[in-house]
Structure formats: structure tokens, C-alpha cells
Amino acid sequence: MANRGRPPLLSDDEILNRALEMFAASGYSAMSVRALNAELGLSHETVSKRFGPKSDLFRAAVARGVTLFISDLNQQIESSAPKDDGERLRATVRSFMVAASRHPALGDLLHHESIGDEHRRAVISQSGLDELLVETVALLQRLHEAGLIRETKIRDLWFLADGAVAPIRLPGLAQMFDPFDGPLDGEELVDRMTDAIMRSIEA
């Protein structure tokens, strides 16, 4: 027989997943740890006892989100077995879109206007995103120097790829176009947008 009134047993990952979603939805300042406890059916001090102050919870939630994102992205890249830098860039663009569509809370967090520059920079530099950005910048530079692509800034590539999967992340809005385009096929969209982005930067 279940013990009534006992808080549910939730793993750290379950708590961090929901915390990331709430930080993404509300921003850092407005996110309420008390509301997080209540939503998860936990006592009002549970999250703080397990993760410390809100700043530590934020770092832990973001670290988990980035770890999952980068793991997914890298797995997608390596599964395509790129043979040269050109294939690696194509695989990186496509894999970024796949990972972004699977982990929308991380993107929402980075885009949230109430996450100030200081928090945004900390997220990028402390979570592993910096390494990804540095590697991609080097890849873009090599391809440009080889005359295979035009000079391309990492900011431009990020927003091109991130914006391209908006129909997957905003299904309600995307359905408005069904009478004209038919139902959205997420995989077909990613393939088509990968082709479009690659064509846009070819030399």
C-alpha cells in the first residue's frame, strides 16, 4: 500500500530536466524554486537541499541540458561518418538542427531575453558549448581558406540552423501552413534546410 503524503522519489535528472524547462520559460530571475518543488510534488526545501542555491541549480540544469545536446549532436555527426571537412560541416549543420529540435528548452533558455549577457556567457563558457563553437569556427576557416565556402561567421551559421527548425519547435504555428504545404515532415525539413544552408555558403 502506498504511503500517502510522502513526496515522490525523483532522480536528479528528472528534477534538472524540469528546472531547465522552467528557467527557459521564465528566465533566471522569475524562475521560482518553490514553484518547481510544488509542480514536482516535492516538499518546499527538497530542491535546495539537493542542489543548493538557485544559482547552483541553474548551473546544474544547464550543464545537463548542454551535455545531452552535445552528446546527441556528436552522435549524429559520427553516425554520418564524414570523410572530409566539407562532409563534416554538412553533418554538423544537420546534426545541430536535429539536436536543437530534440532539446528545445536549451535553445529557449539561451534566447530568453531575461537571461542577461553574464548568464549567457557563463552558460556557453562553462558548459562545453565553447568547445563546440571553437571547433566549428576552425572548420569554417579551413573550408574558406580552401576556397570551398564563402567567409562565414559562426553567429550567422548558428541562427540560420536554429531558425530553420522553428517549425518543429513551434508546431502550433507551423500547422497554419498545412493547407498550403501539407503536414510537416520534420526529417524532410531538416534535410531540405541543410541543403539550403550549405548552398547559401558555398563559394
> How does 91-115 read in b/e, with b if 16+ C-beta sit within 10 Å?
bbbbbbbbbbbbbebbbbbbebeeb
| Distance of alpha carbon 54 from alpha carbon 29, whole angstroms | 10
The whole domain housing 52 covers 12-201
Question: What pLDDT does residue 2 have?
Answer: 45
Q: CA-based angle 87:92:94, to the nearest 5?
A: 95
Question: What pLDDT does residue 113 have?
Answer: 64
**pLDDT tens by residue, 96-117:** 999 999 999 988 888 776 666 6
Q: Average the pLDDT over 32-50 and give the result.
A: 93
Question: What pLDDT does residue 7 have?
Answer: 54
Residue at 39 is within a domain: yes
Q: Which of the 8 DSSP states describes residue 84?
A: S
Q: Would you say residue 21 has pLDDT above 90? A: yes
Which pLDDT band, with edges at 50, 70 and 90, does 5 fall under?
low
The amino acid occupying position 136 is T
Q: Would you say residue 185 has pLDDT above 70? A: yes
| Distance of alpha carbon 90 from alpha carbon 64, whole angstroms | 26
Residue at 111 is within a domain: yes
Question: What pLDDT does residue 190 have?
Answer: 97
Task: Supply the CATH number for residue 25's domain.
Answer: 1.10.357.10
